[in-house]
Amino acid sequence: MAGPETDAQFHFTGIKKYFNSYILTGRMNCVLATYGGIALMILYFKLRSKKTPAMKATLTWTSSVKFRCLEKLMSTHHAILNLYNKL
Amino acid sequence: MNENLFASFAAPSMMGLPIVVLIVMFPSILFPTPSRLINNRLISIQQWLIQLTSKQLLAIHNQKGRTWALMLMSLILFIGSTNLLGLLPHSFTPTTQLSMNLGMAIPLWAGTVITGFRYKTKASLAHFLPQGTPLPLIPMLVVIETISLFIQPMALAVRLTANITAGHLLIHLIGGATLALINISATTAFITFIILILLTILEFAVALIQAYVFTLLVSLYLHDNT
C-alpha cells in the first residue's frame, strides 16, 4: 500500500478539485463516476426498445380501430359465406 | 501405480460413509491445548513455533489488524499440517480439493474487503484508482483494478490447489516410473529414485511454503483494508 496521502500539497480548482487521480476524494469520485457510468450504460441497453421501426409500424396498425373494424367485417363475410354453403 | 492417476484425489469413504470431515479434523489432534505453565516438549516446540510465526506475520499490522491473530495462526497451522500429512503414502490431502480452498479463501478475502469498506470507505474506494493515473486511462484502470480485486480469492484457492496437486501427481508418476524401471535397468531406476527423494524433500518445502504464502496474502489483504 502507498504511504500516507499528502493531500495538502495538491491545490486544484474547478472540476479537478473533485475529480482527479491524486487526492483521496478525487480518486474516490473518479471511481464512483466510472461505476455510475457503467451502471447507466447497462440500464440504457436493458431499457431501450428491441423492436425495429417496421415492427413498431405494424404493431401500431394492428392495434388501430380501422384494423379492428376491417377484421370484424371479414369475419362476418366468412360467416355469411359458410351459411350460404350450408344452405 | 494406480490405474487412474487421479484416484488418490477422490473424496475418501469408508463402508459407503464419507470420512473427509474426520480427515479435515485430524490435524487438530496434533496440536494439544497447553494446560500447564511449563508444558511437555511437543507443546513447548509448537508454542515456540507459533510465537515465532505470529511475531513475523503480525509485525506489519495495527491494533485492528492484530485482532485477526488467532484466525491467521489457525490458518497457517491448519494448511501446513494438512499439507504435511498429505505427504504420507496413501493419505488424502484435503487441500487438493478446490472446493475446500475456495471455502477458505473467499470468506477470508470477503472479510478483509468488507472490513475495509466498513471502516475506511473513502480509502477502500480510492484504492481502485492508482495515484497519478492520466485522465484518459482512468475508466480502464478502475475496471482493471476491480477485476483484479475479484480475482484475488480465486488466485488464492487455485494457487494452493495447483501446487499441492501437481506435487502429488509428480510423486505418483516418478514413483511409478521407478517401479517400472527396476526390472528394466537398475541404474536408471536408481537415478529416478534419487529424483524421487529430491522431489519429496521439495514437496515438504512446498507444503510449508504454500501454507505461509496463503496466510501472508490474507494478511496483506487485511493490512490494505485496516
How does residue B180 score in pLDDT terms, banded at 50, 70 and 90? very high
How does residue B2 score in pLDDT terms, banded at 50, 70 and 90? low
Q: Is B131–A2 a contact, with Cβ atoms under 8 angstroms apart?
A: yes
Q: A23-47: per-residue pLDDT in tens?
A: 888 999 999 999 999 999 999 999 8
Q: Which residues are within 8 A (CB) of B123 and not within 5 positions of it... i.e. 6 or more apart?
A: A24, B116
Q: Is A30–B138 a contact, with Cβ atoms under 8 angstroms apart?
A: yes
Residue pairs between chains A and B whose CB atoms are closer than 8 Å: 42
Q: Mind telling me how many Å the CA of A22 is from chain B's nearest CA?
A: 5
Q: ipTM of the predicted structure? A: 0.74
Chain B residues whose CB is inside 8 A of the A21 CB are: 129-135, 138
Minimal Cβ distance to A31: which of B131, B134, B142: B142
Q: B106-135: per-residue pLDDT in tens?
A: 999 999 999 999 999 999 999 999 988 898
pLDDT higher at B226 or B155: B155
Q: B63-118: per-residue pLDDT in tens?
A: 989 999 999 999 999 999 999 999 998 899 999 999 999 999 999 999 999 999 99
Closest CA to A24 of B142, B129, B211: B129
Q: Which residue has the cell 377484421?
A: A71
Q: Is A30–B224 a contact, with Cβ atoms under 8 angstroms apart?
A: no
Reduced DSSP (H G I as helix, E B as strand, rest coil) percent helix, strand, coil of chain A, to 5:
70, 0, 30
Cα–Cα distance, A16 to A74 (Å, whole number): 69
Instruction: Dig out the grid coordinates for A51 from the structure.
Output: 423492436
Closest CA to B176 of B186, B189, B187: B189
Residue B15, SS3?
A: coil
Q: Is B134–A21 a contact, with Cβ atoms under 8 angstroms apart?
A: yes
Closest CA to B30 of B83, B67, B72, B95: B83
For the beta carbon of residue B26, count every other beta carbon within 10 angstroms: 15
What's this model's pTM, rounded to 2 decimal places? Answer: 0.81
Instruction: Dig out the grid coordinates for B151 from the structure.
Output: 480475482
Q: Is B138–A21 a contact, with Cβ atoms under 8 angstroms apart?
A: yes
Residue A75, SS3?
A: helix
Chain A residues whose CB is inside 8 A of the B143 CB are: 34, 38
Lowest mean pLDDT among A44-53, B52-61, B215-224: A44-53
